[in-house]
Amino acid sequence: MTDLLRRAYDAREFRSQGHALIDRLANYLERVENQPANPFATPEDSLAHFRELLGGAAGEKEPPTTEQLFDAVINRSVHLHHPAYLGHQIVPPAPLAALGDVAASLLNTGMAVFEMGRPGTAMERVVIEQFAQMLELAPTAGGFLTSGGTLANLTGLLAARAHKLGQHDTPLTKPCLLVNAQAHYCIDRAAHIMGWGKEGIIHVPYDGEMRMRTALIDGLVEQAEARGLMPVAIVGSACTTSTGSYDDLSAIADAAQRHGLWFHVDGAHGGAIRLDPKRKHRAAGLERADSFTMDFHKMLLTPALTTALFFREDRAAYRTFQQRADYLLSNSRDEREWFNVAKRSFECTKRMLSLRVYSLLYAYGPELFRDYVVRVGDLGAELASMVRKKADLELLMEPDVNIVCFRFRPFGRAVGSSALDELNAMIRSDLTTDGAIYLVQTVVNGTTYLRCTIANAFTQTQTLGEMLERIVDTGIRLLEVRQGLGR
């Protein structure tokens, strides 16, 4: 036993490091507004800093305190808890869920089989049951937690394949799936991973609001069959990532029924809208999905990655993976062996994801999740109405949820479409280097838009108003520079 090993496991050292860290994080939460939402740094700056930090620590005679390390990580991160964080669709986690993560990490009871992850497995079952009810899924619904929407979508589609093809995963006819051309790229990736190739992905065209044109499904299925393909599944987006558009899930469910297709819903971002009484109609038909992905780290207050994969028939989840692993899983064919989660999930060892959600249910109740979803949905609608009132801004579409896309388009000035795209990209880049506000951009039908996700429930109307003014001022300034240059 070396001194070094003893020190690394020393309870007293842990206690003092832990107290210091929690104090720092609490101070951070109290004061996050006093710094830019997005402290800008280039990849080279960041790399140099963390090389130096480690070099410095190695050169010290005394053991380094961890405070400098945690400060560097905290101060140099993009600040999701900042009210001007309006960027990618990841939620500022409720602090209690992060505390649960500390406990889960220290215990490290990797879940695969029940005896290794007893509390985690039981809590996972409760979380799935509670959310199936809160989201008004079918009474037969079940599922499990997994690491991310990307993996959940792949797993749902593997279930579709197992359902349609049984154990013949290299069938004679080429399988394919249908999906909105605006869907998240991970659906295409899943089809490629399954070996279905380019042909195996049929993109259904979308309408002016980026929703799947469901009237085209029948024709596309027939054309695919005529080409010798075997349609296996159809994927609805609830919502799309880029513009937050909900497909008409009821119409897709009807089509799936007509053609005997597995109906998967990618609700990674927006499945949670079912908790919002005013907006849940946008995801009507979700309860008919054979499988459905929902990220808790997008709209449900937990650290990443925490994802539920639900099945309308809980039993269907057991048919996805049927390998044997004698050292790990009993050879029982009992589908209801719910407590050995690795029978259903892609992962073998899995974090205790359930504690993040369970702790919030335990301390605050299900209303917490609803309050958040309603609040950010309301703020999305408010931002859209503020954009509409500004003559120099153009709203892409009335938002369904907390994702709002718009662009700078100066009133009464003739600016060509490629110049407008460039201007909007320059506005975004200007705001990013400045760092006070963090938003992103997207391209829809070849046109560049600024894109905000209201992720922080504490964002105020005032912050949104200041951001829009900044955008217009920056746009006008950049335009004048361009015109000054005679372009």
Ligand X SMILES: *Cc1c(COP(=O)(O)O)cnc(C)c1O
Site residues (CB under 6 A) for ligand X?
89, 148-150, 184, 186, 237, 241, 266, 268-269, 295, 305, 307
Nearer to ligand X, 137 or 294 (CB): 294
Burial label for 285, CB within 10 Å (0-12, 13-18, 19+), is buried
Which residues on adjacent β-strands are paired with residue 92?
A: none
Nearer to ligand X, 188 or 287 (CB): 188
CA–CA dist 92, 90 (Å, integer): 7
Question: Would you state the torsion angle of the CA atoms of residues 18, 21, 26, 32, taken in this order, to the nearest 10 degrees?
Answer: -160
We find the least distance from the C-beta atom of residue 183 to ligand X, in angstroms, to be: 7
CA–CA dist 116, 108 (Å, integer): 10
Which residues on adjacent β-strands are paired with residue 173?
A: none
Nearer to ligand X, 241 or 320 (CB): 241
Residue with CB nearest ligand X? Answer: 149
Q: Residue 239: is the preceding peptide bond cis (ω within 30°)?
A: yes
| Residue 261, both tokens | 């297709």
Nearer to ligand X, 47 or 193 (CB): 193
Closest CA to 161 of 322, 358, 401: 322
We find the least distance from the C-beta atom of residue 159 to ligand X, in angstroms, to be: 17
Nearer to ligand X, 295 or 314 (CB): 295
We find the least distance from the C-beta atom of residue 244 to ligand X, in angstroms, to be: 9
Residue 59, phi then psi, degrees to nearest 5: -80, -15
Three-class DSSP category at 155: helix
Half-sphere exposure for 306 (CA within 13 Å, toward CB): 26
Burial label for 251, CB within 10 Å (0-12, 13-18, 19+), is middle
Burial label for 262, CB within 10 Å (0-12, 13-18, 19+), is buried
- Non-local (6+) Cβ contacts of 342 within 8 A are 111, 112, 113, 325, 328, 329, 348, 350
End-to-end CA distance of the chain: 72
We find the least distance from the C-beta atom of residue 297 to ligand X, in angstroms, to be: 7
We find the least distance from the C-beta atom of residue 156 to ligand X, in angstroms, to be: 11
Nearer to ligand X, 66 or 147 (CB): 147
Nearer to ligand X, 113 or 439 (CB): 439
Residue 178, phi then psi, degrees to nearest 5: -115, 140
Nearer to ligand X, 266 or 392 (CB): 266
Sheet strands side by side (includes 174-180): 142-146, 307-311, 291-295, 262-266, 229-237, 174-180, 201-204
We find the least distance from the C-beta atom of residue 448 to ligand X, in angstroms, to be: 20
Nearer to ligand X, 357 or 386 (CB): 357
We find the least distance from the C-beta atom of residue 466 to ligand X, in angstroms, to be: 27
Nearer to ligand X, 201 or 426 (CB): 201
Instruction: Identify whether the C-beta of residue 374 lies closer than 8 Å to the C-beta of residue 388.
Output: no
Spell out a b/e string for 436-451, using b for 16 or more CB atoms within 10 Å of the CB, else e: ebbbbbeebeebbbbb
Nearer to ligand X, 184 or 356 (CB): 184
CA–CA dist 408, 392 (Å, integer): 6
We find the least distance from the C-beta atom of residue 150 to ligand X, in angstroms, to be: 3
- Non-local (6+) Cβ contacts of 349 within 8 A are 110, 111, 112
Nearer to ligand X, 117 or 303 (CB): 303
CA–CA dist 427, 424 (Å, integer): 5
- Non-local (6+) Cβ contacts of 16 within 8 A are none
